[in-house]
Amino acid sequence: MRSGRLAVAGAAVLALALSAGCSSGSQESAAPTAAQTSAAGPVTLTYWSWVPNMDKIVAVWNKAHPDIQVNVSKQAGGDDAAAKFLTAAKAGNPPDLIQAEYQMLPSFVAADAVADLTSGTAQVKGEFGEGVWGLVTLGTDAVYAIPQDSGPMMLYYRKDLFEKFGVEVPKTWDEYAEAARAVHKADPKVYLGTFSSKDPGSFAGLAQQAGAQWWSIQGESWKVAIDDAATKKVADYWGGLVKEGVIDDQPYFTPEWNKALNDGTLLTWPSAVWGPGVLSSNAPKGKGKWEIAPLPQWSAGENATGFWGGSSTAVAQKSPNQAAATQFATWLNTDPEALSLLVTEGAVYPAATKGGAALTSAPDYFSNQPDFWQQTAAISATARGFTFGPDVNVTYNAFKDAFDKALQNGSSFSDAVGVMQETTVADMQKSGFQLAR
Amino acid sequence: MRAHRPSGARGAGAAPYLFLAPAVVLFTLFTAVPIVYTAYLSLRRTKVSGLGLGRGARREVFAGLDNYSAALGDGELWAGWLRVLGYGAIVLTVMLGLALLFALLLDSAHVRLARFSRIALFLPYAVPGVVATLLWGFLYLPSVTPLRDLGVDVVLLGPGTVTFSMANIAIWGGTGFNMLVLYTALRAVPRTYYEAARIDGASERHIALRIKIPILMPAIILTTVFSVIATIQVFTEPTALRPLTNTISSTWSPLMKVYRDAFVNGDLYSAAATSIVIAAISLVLSFGFLRVVRDRAFQEG
């Protein structure tokens, strides 16, 4: 009896100590260690991601870390996943980890859906470039996610058809416009490119290249400048070419677009470094015929590009295992083994500076361009982004509606940019954000 | 004294309530509570202070009727109603017209392959809406459509034609179901009516117009009410077609606007207010229609 009672008391003390250790672990610990998390017993984390083969990458982690098991839940990606995460966070049962696109991160932060990882990531900062790191801190002292990949933009073009039409790779947007006219004149069925009214991310990247700053923080208020001169310049450039009829107006990622890529009636695609994955699945017939070059520039001699897409790994504010989740997110995006898996299995372009080591052989689809990754690295060094605001979803949706309308009515593209600005400002005012005049 | 009390509802004690309980509980849990919660949400909004970053920068506050006045004053919502009205006019007339025609044809004496035709006409209803829309979407897209190879050169997703193309999908999917409802009602009519009519010299056409359609009236009204409600709720077709074309905005139909507000813009509160406005309008429309035709349909005073 006595020993039995003792055992019960001992177990109770132990349980108390464990729970105390556990709670201090999640609240105060600066850098969670394997010892601490194992004391809390095995935990299971849910991770929403749409990186291909993420389950295979996670399997490597799960094997090495029996105490922190990660379950990948495959998502459709992009806007849908973001909306789903915000809804789940509001309902109180979000996943522990989420793939967060850079432009959506401010919305997540504003909705108090993602945790501040500052304490667990002190030593991680050095693994990333300044520009990318700024996207996860939003220019504040906090760290809201760990960068995973980035999407510097470049020009994908059909080398064989450029030769056939006798067109040089355009160095400036003026040359690009000339080439568009020449190609369309030579064969009216062929377009040099298309303007997609369904892909605000692509337009944002082109605006970044021109030097746009859609949002910025001034003290305690937001400055919204979506209709700045740089953005209007980009909009009117494309609007002019579409109106002239030398650039097509069908959206990207549709069956029609796939067909145009496959049968060689679309010759270029200004896109991001993740392009090879899309081209190889949507335009299998073009294998070995495409090459990359830097985006055309606004004036000769310049050297700049923007970002389209790219994402980070964020931890949910409501996750009971933030420390373990941070540990996994850090491993996934900075560990050399994980980085090389991200490249080979997930086909992502890692944001970590060490990631370059894993990029040795060119993607299969671009086997004709052996220096694909060297080119990419050079282009990537010239990329500039901007701060994203807390209601990018509203802005991006306004882009789709306004540019759909502009294409239908043949109205001015810079007016559509004006609609984006008005819609964004109205939404921020309605919510009560402080706006700088 | 108790023995003298007439037996009736009062004498039954708790039993009726017990029988009612499951229905009441289910109704409360799955209909009343969500409606009340929606109404509650529609009276609130988020209030952000400063940059809106960091903890506690975003609060939920009482908004009064602001969300309602915004929903009622939103030109996009009313433009959406207009688009749906045009779409609904096409769908209702063509779909119900075809359904009635097919039901009468199948019921007439001289039809062959009735069983096969019935199943063939009903089959599209079994195809999920999203699948049907994508299927038709591929047929509509200019460069992948086989229509081009047949020499037909029409823009099926242009600003002027997209409503018809969308209505076509709904008609294709809905005709079979409505036909089946009408056909089933027709089969329940005693055959002696037709014999009497034939003895009086009525042709098949006369029987259809003078006997079958009047008898079918309640069923026609039922299918019309269902179709009106389905039209007001149109969402699947435009949403699934939207990525393929520039002509469908994110607020093409009222329900699409609710979806956009709630899940794209993250504003559950104004989405809730708009939902309630839509529910009110669809109640008024369906009950209004029923009221207008009640006398004819159900022989009520």
Give a yes or no: residue A105 inside a domain: yes
Is the CB of A408 less than 8 angstroms away from the CB of B243? no
Indicate if B80 and B27 belong to the same structural domain.
no
Answer whether residue B144 shows pLDDT above 70. yes
ipTM: 0.82
Comparison of pLDDT for B157 and A209, the residue scoring more: A209
Indicate if B81 and B214 belong to the same structural domain.
yes
Q: Kindly calculate the radius of gyration of chain B based on its CA atoms and give it in whole angstroms.
A: 26
Indicate if B139 and B210 belong to the same structural domain.
yes
**What's the domain count of chain A?**
2
Of B49, B55, B144, the CB nearest to A432: B49
A-interface mutation test, from B265, B267, B269, B270, most A Cβ less than 10 A away: B265
Indicate if B98 and B187 belong to the same structural domain.
yes
User: What is the distance in angstroms between the Cα of A369 and the nearest Cα belonging to chain B?
Assistant: 31
Long-range contacts of B69-77 (CB under 8 A, 24+ apart): B70/B270, B70/B273, B71/B270, B71/B273, B71/B274, B71/B277, B72/B277, B74/B257, B76/B251, B76/B257, B77/B251, B77/B254, B77/B257, B77/B274, B77/B277
Of residues B63, B37, B58, the one with CA closest to residue B270 = B63
Q: DSSP letter string over B147-177? A: HHHTT----TTSTTTHHHHHHHHHHHHHHHH
Q: What is the CATH number for A316?
A: 3.40.190.10
Ramachandran angles phi, psi of A250, nearest 5°: -85, 145
Q: Which residues of B touch A221 (CB under 8 A)?
A: 50-51
Indicate if A288 and A426 belong to the same structural domain.
yes
Q: Which residues contact A140 (CB under 8 A, 6 or more apart)?
A: B53, B54
Of B51, B138, B266, the CB nearest to A111: B266
Q: Which residues of A touch B243 (CB under 8 A)?
A: 198, 251, 253-254
Indicate if A162 and A247 belong to the same structural domain.
yes
**Domain, as residue range, for A288:** 153-307+372-431
Give a yes or no: residue B188 inside a domain: yes
B253 and B80 Cβ atoms separated by less than 8 Å: yes
Give a yes or no: residue A28 inside a domain: no
Mean pLDDT of B264-273: 90
Is the CB of B53 less than 8 angstroms away from the CB of A407? no
Give a yes or no: residue B53 inside a domain: no
- With CA atoms as reference, the chain A residue closest to B260 would be A397
**In the structure encoding, which two tokens stand for residue A365, read together?**
């689809």
How far is residue A267's CA from residue A187's CA, in Å, rounded to a whole number? Answer: 12
User: What is the distance in angstroms between the Cα of B17 and the nearest Cα belonging to chain A?
Assistant: 35
Indicate if A285 and A386 belong to the same structural domain.
yes
pLDDT on residue B299: 56
Is the CB of B53 less than 8 angstroms away from the CB of A106? yes
Angle among Cα A385, A387, A389 to the nearest 5 degrees reads 135
**What's the domain count of chain B?**
2
Indicate if B7 and B71 belong to the same structural domain.
no
Give a yes or no: residue A15 inside a domain: no
Indicate if A107 and A207 belong to the same structural domain.
no
Q: What is the CATH number for B213?
A: 1.10.3720.10
Indicate if A347 and A376 belong to the same structural domain.
no
Q: Which residues of A touch B155 (CB under 8 A)?
A: none
Give a yes or no: residue A40 inside a domain: yes
A135 and A144 Cβ atoms separated by less than 8 Å: no
Indicate if B247 and B192 belong to the same structural domain.
yes
Is the CB of B53 less than 8 angstroms away from the CB of A110? yes
User: What is the distance in angstroms between the Cα of B260 and the nearest Cα belonging to chain A?
Assistant: 9
User: What is the distance in angstroms between the Cα of B246 and the nearest Cα belonging to chain A?
Assistant: 5
Is the CB of B260 less than 8 angstroms away from the CB of A222? no
Answer whether residue B19 shows pLDDT above 80. yes
A155 and A297 Cβ atoms separated by less than 8 Å: no
- With CA atoms as reference, the chain B residue closest to A79 would be B264
User: What is the distance in angstroms between the Cα of A88 and the nearest Cα belonging to chain B?
Assistant: 11
Indicate if B107 and B15 belong to the same structural domain.
no
- With CA atoms as reference, the chain A residue closest to B269 would be A431
Indicate if A318 and A185 belong to the same structural domain.
no
Indicate if B213 and B166 belong to the same structural domain.
yes
Q: What's the mean per-residue pLDDT of chain B?
A: 88
- Name the residue with tokens 């959506």: A104
**In the structure encoding, which two tokens stand for residue B7, read together?**
């037996």
A327 and A69 Cβ atoms separated by less than 8 Å: no
Give a yes or no: residue B51 inside a domain: no
Indicate if A289 and A164 belong to the same structural domain.
yes
How far is residue A240's CA from residue A259's CA, in Å, rounded to a whole number? Answer: 25
pLDDT on residue B269: 93
Give a yes or no: residue A367 inside a domain: no
Counted residue by residue, chain B has a size of 301
Indicate if B176 and B284 belong to the same structural domain.
yes
User: What is the distance in angstroms between the Cα of A179 and the nearest Cα belonging to chain B?
Assistant: 24
Indicate if B137 and B205 belong to the same structural domain.
yes
Indicate if A387 and A410 belong to the same structural domain.
yes
pLDDT on residue B297: 61
Ramachandran angles phi, psi of A111, nearest 5°: -85, 5
Give a yes or no: residue B44 inside a domain: no
Is the CB of B265 less than 8 angstroms away from the CB of A397? yes
- Name the residue with tokens 């650039």: A247
pLDDT on residue B235: 94
Span of A25-39, B23-37, B112-126, B285-299 with lowest mean pLDDT: A25-39
- With CA atoms as reference, the chain B residue closest to A189 would be B143
Give a yes or no: residue A219 inside a domain: yes
Give a yes or no: residue A193 inside a domain: yes
Give a yes or no: residue B104 inside a domain: yes
Model confidence pLDDT, tens digit, residues B190-237: 989 999 999 999 888 888 899 999 999 989 998 999 999 899 999 999
Indicate if B77 and B198 belong to the same structural domain.
yes
At position A109, the amino acid (one-letter code) is V
How far is residue A145's CA from residue A118's CA, in Å, rounded to a whole number? Answer: 9
Give a yes or no: residue A7 inside a domain: no
**Domain, as residue range, for B84:** 67-298
pLDDT on residue A101: 93
Answer whether residue B1 shows pLDDT above 50. no
Using pLDDT thresholds of 50, 70 and 90, give the confidence band for residue B56.
confident
Indicate if A337 and A303 belong to the same structural domain.
no
Indicate if A198 and A303 belong to the same structural domain.
yes
Indicate if B80 and B135 belong to the same structural domain.
yes
Of B58, B246, B247, the CB nearest to A111: B58
Indicate if A74 and A222 belong to the same structural domain.
no
Indicate if A199 and A238 belong to the same structural domain.
yes
Q: Which residues of B touch A391 (CB under 8 A)?
A: 265-266
pLDDT on residue A28: 36
Model confidence pLDDT, tens digit, residues B93-133: 999 999 999 999 988 867 778 888 888 989 999 999 999 99
The share of chain B scoring above pLDDT 70, in percent, equals 93
Give a yes or no: residue B177 inside a domain: yes
Ramachandran angles phi, psi of B58, nearest 5°: -125, 120
Give a yes or no: residue B130 inside a domain: yes
Q: Which residues of B touch A249 (CB under 8 A)?
A: 246
3-state secondary structure of B45: strand
Give a yes or no: residue B16 inside a domain: yes
User: What is the distance in angstroms between the Cα of B75 and the nearest Cα belonging to chain A?
Assistant: 14
**Below-50 pLDDT ranges, chain A:** 1-39
pLDDT on residue B109: 66
| Count of pairs with CB atoms under 8 A, one residue in A, one in B | 103
User: What is the distance in angstroms between the Cα of A311 and the nearest Cα belonging to chain B?
Assistant: 19
pLDDT on residue B182: 95
Of A394, A407, A433, the CB nearest to B265: A394
Is the CB of A432 less than 8 angstroms away from the CB of B47? yes
